[in-house]
């Protein structure tokens, strides 16, 4: 399975910055998990992605979604399919695709038909998308929010989404016999643990406690969703913990597991 974390900002010379402002992971070049910078940074996979699975509806996870549909509008021969819980879909209809913030693309057709279709998933119920089997697990962030166990022919990957301390995703990841990797968030440095608690994110110390729940010490762990303004400090604190098998996911690059 190949997982690419799209870049979301640029250095002065135009190269991808390692500051991750938004979240969008493209799996096997065809299925996007979240859509933070999807329209802006997807590159050549633009024409292959028609399925977008959302973890939650915070802006840094959906900012590129309306622009992606807009980008493809005139060429789509089948709708872009967006997967979320009933509440996530309601939030997108009310707050984004409402003809105020952006057009209601559910109602506007191109010459081939519909361009946007929402599909509901429920926590704990596996569904299939693009050759992947996806188990959404509720995590501890704004409500509702999901982490995922994503399974394909070559194995499974767990993606925490945004979360504070939680249990279900670790139980589900530990139970995946073919688990190849874990992607887990760590947003804030330890000195901001109060804010992390309020915003329901992890700090390096919290990450360490969470990883103790993962009963698969041999599986590599990649840290994602580090707040860009605190990135150097968070990375230094994670490295200082010396956690075996834990590394930082390179922004703008792909990891094959």
Q: Extract the tokens encoding 4.
A: 């690419």
Say whether 139 sits in a helix, a strand or coil.
coil
Specify the DSSP class assigned to residue 100.
S
Contact assessment for residue 233 and residue 189, using Cβ atoms and an 8 Å cutoff: yes
State the CB neighbour count (10 A cutoff) for residue 206: 21
Please, what is the minimum distance in Å from the beta carbon of residue 58 to Zn ion?
3
Measured from the CB atom, is 46 or 95 closer to Zn ion? 95
Identify which range of 17-25, 26-34, 52-60, 93-101 contacts Zn ion by CB under 5 A: 52-60
Residue 162 touching Zn ion (CB under 5 A): yes
Please, what is the minimum distance in Å from the beta carbon of residue 142 to Zn ion?
6
Identify which range of 17-25, 50-58, 67-75, 132-140 contacts Zn ion by CB under 5 A: 50-58
Please, what is the minimum distance in Å from the beta carbon of residue 104 to Zn ion?
24
Tell me how far apart the alpha carbons of residues 128 and 82 are, in angstroms, rounded to a whole number: 13
Contact assessment for residue 225 and residue 36, using Cβ atoms and an 8 Å cutoff: no
Q: Extract the tokens encoding 187.
A: 């947003």
Preceding omega of 167 cis (within 30 degrees of 0): no
Contact letters (x/-) for Zn ion, 56-95, by CB under 5 A?
A: --x-------------------------------------
Please, what is the minimum distance in Å from the beta carbon of residue 207 to Zn ion?
16
Interface with Zn ion (CB under 5 A), residue total 2
């Amino acid at each position: 399975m190949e997982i690419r974390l799209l870049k979301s900002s640029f250095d002065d010379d135009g190269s991808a910055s390692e500051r991750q402002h938004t979240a969008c992971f493209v799996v096997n070049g065809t299925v996007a998990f979240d859509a933070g910078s999807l329209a802006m940074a997807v590159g050549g996979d633009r024409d292959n992605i028609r399925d977008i699975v959302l973890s939650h509806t915070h802006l840094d996870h959906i900012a590129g979604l309306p622009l992606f549909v807009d980008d493809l509008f005139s060429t789509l021969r089948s709708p872009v399919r967006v997967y979320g819980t009933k509440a996530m879909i309601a939030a997108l209809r009310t707050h984004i695709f409402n003809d105020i913030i952006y057009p209601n693309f559910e109602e506007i057709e191109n010459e081939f038909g519909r361009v946007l279709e929402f599909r509901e998933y429920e926590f704990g119920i596996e569904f299939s998308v693009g050759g992947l089997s996806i188990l959404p697990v509720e995590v501890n962030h704004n409500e509702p929010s999901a982490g995922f166990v994503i399974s394909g022919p070559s194995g499974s990957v767990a993606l925490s989404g945004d979360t504070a301390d939680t249990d279900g995703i670790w139980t589900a990841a530990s139970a995946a016999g073919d688990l190849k990797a874990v992607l887990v968030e760590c947003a804030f440095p330890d000195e901001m643990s109060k804010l992390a608690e309020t915003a329901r994110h992890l700090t390096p110390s919290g990450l360490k406690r969470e990883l103790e729940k993962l009963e698969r010490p041999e599986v590599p762990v990649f840290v994602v969703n580090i707040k860009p303004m605190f990135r150097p400090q968070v990375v230094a604190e994670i490295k200082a913990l010396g956690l075996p098998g834990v590394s930082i996911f390179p922004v703008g690059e792909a990891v094959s597991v």
